[in-house]
Structure 1
Amino acid sequence: MNIQLTKFITYLAIFFGAIQAQAFEPKSNFSVNLERVRYCQNFWCTQQYTQPEYQVWDQEGVSKTHQLYTQIARIQQPMRENVRNLVFIAAGQQPPGYGSESSVTGQEDNYKKDCGVSKGSCSRSVDGRSLARQVLDSEYFPADDTFFAVAFDTQFNYMVSSSEKSRMERAYLNWLKSKAYASNLETIYLAGSSRGGCLAMRLAKALRDDPAFRKIRTIVHSFDGVCKWDQNEMGVTSSFFRSPVNSNYLSYYTDLDAQFPYKDNLYIRQLAGGDEVIEFTGVHSFVYSATDVSLGWYAQQWVDLNHITIDRDMTPTVRDLTVVPFLQHLDDIF
């Protein structure tokens, strides 16, 4: 090959690589209106109110307590007939107290402080280093045709009963479906960390099981997603694989091939750590393969990071192993 041409191609690759790297750099923080599905109308909370936006939680019979603590921010909401893209991103299960940060939704530590159950909504910040901020800034989900929401606290918690989880899943599912007409939709993007990863996967399965939504391009990103094996959530079993990069970690097996029989226009990516979520509980993430795989419809990568680091850490070295590969995956799809 001509030497000048070789140099030109090399410089071009470097140039576009630099542009892509810059695209994944942190953005500015931005404010959102964080809404409570249900809130207290008096001091003793004997009078409560489910907000009109979230009436489906009542309709599906989700418990009043779980409604009270579910907090969601609608970042973009065009008219239903204009929506071509649905984006929903969910944080992991929130610990007791004022709430924890998330590298996925971008919520900050202590975001619940001064935003108690008596407040229907509060202004909160989304971190510019997070997946949600980067996705919002991407060219793939324009503001004028994308419904975009993030859940800081889904209440889709590990110890919740199987029946209550099903009610919650239906509430989220029907709420999202109400934001667009299936015939207009081009892309559905669901992402989540830990328990949020399980919710994202369950919602994707439910949408794929619906013939009206089955052929729509569906992208699912799970950050060390955690489903409960003794409830057979998402088909997760007690069988497990040891992490190939850290033998102290393990993840439970689920047959995702069977869970998603309709694979056209389906793109799932799972980041697997396998660390025990809470010590001595036996709670771990789920995986489909013992090794890194790329099957077209499904990709999986093991990382030697503990669960909390995957869930919350946004330092540059960690972010390059967590958030950035998912952004690259989006680029590869589009």
Structure 2
Amino acid sequence: MGCGGAPEPDALEAQAQSLAWPSGSSRTVVSRRVVSLNGVTFQAAPGFEHFRAAGAPDLALHNVRIAEVDAPAVREALVVMAAGQKISSSGHSSGVTGQASNWDASCNSVSCPNVTLDGRSLAMKLSALGLFPSGRTYLSVINDANFDHLFDSDTKQRLVNGFAGWLQAQVRPETRAIYLAGSSRGGCLMMRVAQALRANTALDGINVYVSSFDGVCRNSQGELGTFDSKVNNPVRPWGTFYGGWATNMTAQFPRRHRLHIFHVVGGQEVAPATGIRAFTAYNGTTPPSTGTNLDWGWYKQTWVKWQHKEIGNPYTDPSASEQAQAVADTVDAHLTWLGGLL
């Protein structure tokens, strides 16, 4: 904002409209459990064997549910998007995957039929825009990754290994791009999966793109290199303490060939007095007390004023008067970034 002060409302509206991408069509899909339950017996679902092979507990894997929206034989691009962590017994809506808050109402021990994906979501907008080849792009949405913030580090690593193994099994000789997107804990998961992909030299010919929406990693475990150094949000609302746990992102991705990451961060504490908040990258040897927007070529980060839930779903949580700007700063900003790279 600087010396010129805050933009006028008309300017904000124009900025929002300038980033507006058209909605896609809503889709109804089946979300399958990666491990099904037959009485008291767990078994890997067809096509999801990598999860159980990675060794995470069956009870944890039973709650992992994935909808394969498009699964063509020819796969020039792979697109995988993850919602945030499911809280308690309630579902949650997601502006990334497009699922509604009651998406899991129809779930049984094998699958969740009739899950509707909102056409305004990142997944459905991207599908309609055709930034990746139509009819030759594999698209899955992870409705529930069960990547629980409170799980121990070993369980989390086994889950990451399962997701990475499953995703790499979708790669075909013609695959040239992988796009990962996730909000909250889903954002942290997609970042960690990207680490696994970029560490695999067999995938060096594939471009990896990652979108994180206020991605949350557990600093007390050093997840994604986060630690107890909070970087304040430079555009945080007055009277708030928004900020992110610092991580040396360059150290987290020593192999950055064909890697592109965009992280939109607000840094509101997810629940009061828990210390659960998003990560933030920093440059140099010591994190700054207050952050700035970053663009290192391979890594871009933008600070926003929005609450954690507003970043995760800008269509339902901001006030009606602010929804257009919230969408512009989140879902549409990621589409603009991705479109500029493709």
- TM value normalised by structure 2: 0.86
Distance 1:47 1:208 in 2: 36
Q: Give RMSD over aligned pairs.
A: 1.9
Q: Give secondary structure in 2 for the equivalent of 1:328.
A: helix
The equivalent of 2:97 in structure 1 is 105
Alignment partner, residue 135 of structure 1? 126
CA displacement, residues 43-75 of structure 1 (integer Å, 9 cap, x when unaligned): xxx233321221112211111111111110001
Cα gap change, 1:131/1:61 in structure 2, threshold over 3 Å: closer, same or farther? same
Instruction: Indicate if the aligned counterparts of 2:19 and 2:332 stay in contact, CA closer than 8 A.
Output: no
Indicate conservation of the 8 Å contact 2:19/2:328, yes or no: no
User: Corresponding residue for 1:325?
Assistant: 333
CA shift for structure 1 position 234 = 1.1
> Which residues in structure 2 correspond to 1:185-264 (within 5 Å)?
185-246=175-236, 248-264=241-257
Q: Distance in 2 between matches of 1:203 and 1:292?
A: 24
Q: Match of 2:307, as an amino acid?
A: N
Residue equivalent to 2:305: 304
Residue 32 of structure 1 and its aligned partner are, at CA, apart by 1.3
SS at structure 1 position matched to 2:263: strand
**Equivalence for 1:266:** 259
Distance 1:316 1:145 in 2: 32
Preserved contact between residue 98 and residue 113 of structure 1 (Cα < 8 Å): no
Cα drift, residue 268 of structure 1: 0.5
Aligned to 1:13: none
Secondary structure of the residue aligned to 2:103 is: coil
CA distance 1:264–1:57, shift in 2 (3 Å)? closer
Matches within 5 A, 1:8-23: none
Aligned to 2:146: 155
Q: Where does residue 12 of structure 1 map in the other structure?
A: none
**Which residue does the alignment assign to 2:114?**
123
Aligned to 1:279: 272
Tell whether 2:160 aligns with 1:169. Answer: yes
Structure-2 separation of matches of 1:84 and 1:61? 30
User: How far did 1:20 drift?
Assistant: 7.7
Task: Determine helix, strand or coil for the equivalent of 2:51.
Answer: helix
- Structure 1 runs of 4+ aligned residues shifted over 3 Å read 19-22
Distance 2:144 2:122 in 1: 16
Cα distance 1:276–1:21, how it changes in 2: closer, same or farther (>3 A)?
Answer: closer
Distance 1:253 1:101, change over 3 A: same
* 8 A contact 1:91–1:192 mirrored in 2: yes
Q: Is the 8 A contact 1:98 1:111 kept in 2?
A: no
Q: Which amino acid aligns with 1:60?
A: A
Q: Secondary structure at the match of 2:62?
A: helix
- Matching residue's letter, 1:105: T
Shift in Å at residue 131 of structure 1?
Answer: 0.6
Q: Per-residue deviation at 1:127?
A: 0.5
Shift of 1:21: 5.5
Amino acid at match of 1:193: S
How many angstroms apart in 1 are the aligned matches of 2:295 and 2:335?
16
2:44 to 45, 50, 63: 50
Identity of matched residues, %: 33
Conserved? CA contact 2:65–2:111, under 8 Å? no
Pick the aligned partner of 1:114 from 89, 102, 106: 106
Q: 1:258 to 1:215 in 2, by over 3 A?
A: farther
Change in Cα spacing, 1:144 to 1:28, as seen in structure 2 (3 Å) is closer
Q: Within 5 Å, which residues of 2 pair with 1:62-73?
A: 62-73=56-67
Cα distance, 1:261 vs. partner? 2.0
- The aligned length equals 310
**TM-score with structure 1 setting the length:** 0.88
Question: Aligned partners of 1:147 and 1:28: how far apart in 2?
Answer: 17
Greater Cα radius of gyration, structure 1 or 2: 1
> CA contact under 8 A between 1:38 and 1:120: conserved in structure 2?
no
CA distance in 1, matches of 2:274, 2:126: 34
Give me the whole-angstrom Cα distance separating, in 1, the residues matched to 2:300 and 2:274.
Answer: 28
Distance 1:298 1:25 in 2: 26
User: In 1, distance between residues paired with 2:301 and 2:19?
Assistant: 22
Give SS of 2:107's match: coil
